[in-house]
Every structure is written in structure tokens, then in C-alpha cells.
Chain A
Amino acid sequence: RKEVEQDPGPFNVPEGATVAFNCTYSNSASQSFFWYRQDCRKEPKLLMSVYSSGNEDGRFTAQLNRASQYISLLIRDSKLSDSATYLCVGQYGNKLVFGAGTILRVKS
């Protein structure tokens, strides 16, 4: 089983829609999780950290479910500019392990 797994998508949604991504992780000892965004042919950039209590940043909400070993990302009121690949990241010891990414395409 991969350490971090994501549905590759693509998720095709209209502008204004709400979309949610899940990511599962295999190592219950992981302490830190993140969501990164990667635009085509660009470097990944941090979207948000994921805390046990959940966190929100504008239209984005991240949740961590330790019992079921998954994290989620909710995007409300999708914009065309949200089109990108979203990478789930888990910390394993001294390593940051990336999922393969979920592609989001927001269409007008």
C-alpha cells in the first residue's frame, strides 16, 4: 500500500461548485499533513497545513481524520483559477511523502 494515496481525477466542475478531495495515508505515526497546489509545469506550493482540529482559509477547508487515516480538502465557490493539481503530503519521520495528485478542472 502506498504511503499516501489520492484519487487522480480529473474532477471537472463548473464555476461556483463545491468540490472535495480525499487522501488516505498508511502510517498512523505521521504527525504532519499538508495540501500543496501545483500548476502545470510549475513547482508545488503550499496551499495549507492540515491540523487535527481542521482549518479554514477563505474558500478552502482542510480536515484530518486520524481514526480513518484520511485527510480532506474542500473548495467552495470554485474559480477558474483553482484549476490545478492538488497534492496531499504526509510527514514520515524525516521525509515528506507526496501523493500522486488530484487534477481539478474548473470550467465556465
Chain B
Amino acid sequence: NAGVTQTPKFRILKIGQSMTLQCAQDMNHNYMYWYRQDPGMGLKLIYYSVGAGITDKGEVPNGYNVSRSTTEDFPLRLELAAPSQTSVYFCASSKDRATEAFFGQGTRLTVV
């Protein structure tokens, strides 16, 4: 079972560049989440979605955008990358809001 798949696993961006972090799940989960984790810190919620066509901001949405055109996919877009966006990005999904969330393996992003 694939579960939650994130691509790429690693990426180096230059300041001002843009990129899309891909996330796909094959469990037919309604809820999907994007978190970032800075070194030695906890996970901070960037955006989340409760179903196709519905997205909402989390704790730290500035500098990011998301879309949810299908149940399976929840890409995260970084516009005008900044060094402050250097982090590990985790995508997760859950059946509904009160159930276990499954995580992808993460994308390690460095902005230089």
C-alpha cells in the first residue's frame, strides 16, 4: 500500500524561485494537511482540506498556496521562496477529523 506519497524528497531552491510540493494519497481520505517542521521544533499547520474543492488556512499560511481538485491530490505551492521557508514539509491525510492521520515521508527544502 502506497499510503501518502510526497515528491520530491529533497529540493534546493534559490531565493525568489517557485515550486510545487506534490502530495497524493490512495486511501480515499477526506482530510488532508500540510505541515512544516523546523529543526528541533514541532509541526506547524500550513493549510488543510476537508474534501475536494475545500481548503482552509492553518497556523502559518503566508507564502504558500494549496488546491484540492481531487480527493487524492493536495499540492502545496511556494511562491517567491525565502530562506525562512527552509524546513521539512509533511503532508498527511485522515479519514475524518477524529481519526488517525497518516504522514508522507516528507520533503526537505532548502532555500539559499
The segment from A14-22, A41-49, A54-62, A69-77 found at the interface with B is A41-49
Contacting pair B42 A91 (CB below 8 A): no
Contacting pair B42 A87 (CB below 8 A): yes
Q: Give the shortest distance, in Å, between B72 (CB) and chain A (any CB).
A: 19
Residue of B nearest to A4 (CB): B42
Kindly state the separation between the CA atoms of A32 and B102 in the bound complex, as whole angstroms.
16
Q: Give the shortest distance, in Å, between A11 (CB) and chain B (any CB).
A: 16
Contacting pair B97 A45 (CB below 8 A): no
Kindly state the separation between the CA atoms of A87 and B31 in the bound complex, as whole angstroms.
20
Contacting pair B42 A98 (CB below 8 A): yes
Kindly state the separation between the CA atoms of A59 and B15 in the bound complex, as whole angstroms.
48
Kindly state the separation between the CA atoms of A97 and B58 in the bound complex, as whole angstroms.
10
Q: Give the shortest distance, in Å, between B52 (CB) and chain A (any CB).
A: 15
The segment from B18-26, B63-71, B103-111 found at the interface with A is B103-111
Binding site for A on B (CB under 8 A): 31, 33, 35, 41-45, 48, 50, 56, 58, 88, 90, 92, 94, 97-106
Contacting pair A97 B98 (CB below 8 A): no
Contacting pair B106 A43 (CB below 8 A): yes
Contacting pair B48 A95 (CB below 8 A): yes
Residue among A44, A93, A94 making CB contact with B103, cutoff 8 Å: A44
Query: Which residues of chain B have C-beta atoms less than 8 A from A96's C-beta?
Result: 33, 45, 92, 94, 97, 101
Query: Which residues of chain B have C-beta atoms less than 8 A from A49's C-beta?
Result: 100
- Residue pairs across A and B with Cβ atoms less than 8 A apart, 12 shown, are A43-B90, A43-B103, A43-B105, A43-B106, A44-B43, A87-B42, A87-B43, A94-B31, A94-B50, A94-B97, A95-B45, A96-B92
Contacting pair A91 B98 (CB below 8 A): yes
Residue of B nearest to A43 (CB): B103
Query: Which residues of chain B have C-beta atoms less than 8 A from A97's C-beta?
Result: 45
Contacting pair A46 B100 (CB below 8 A): yes
Residue of A nearest to B54 (CB): A94
Closest 7 CB pairs of A and B: A100-B42, A43-B103, A98-B43, A32-B98, A46-B100, A94-B97, A98-B42
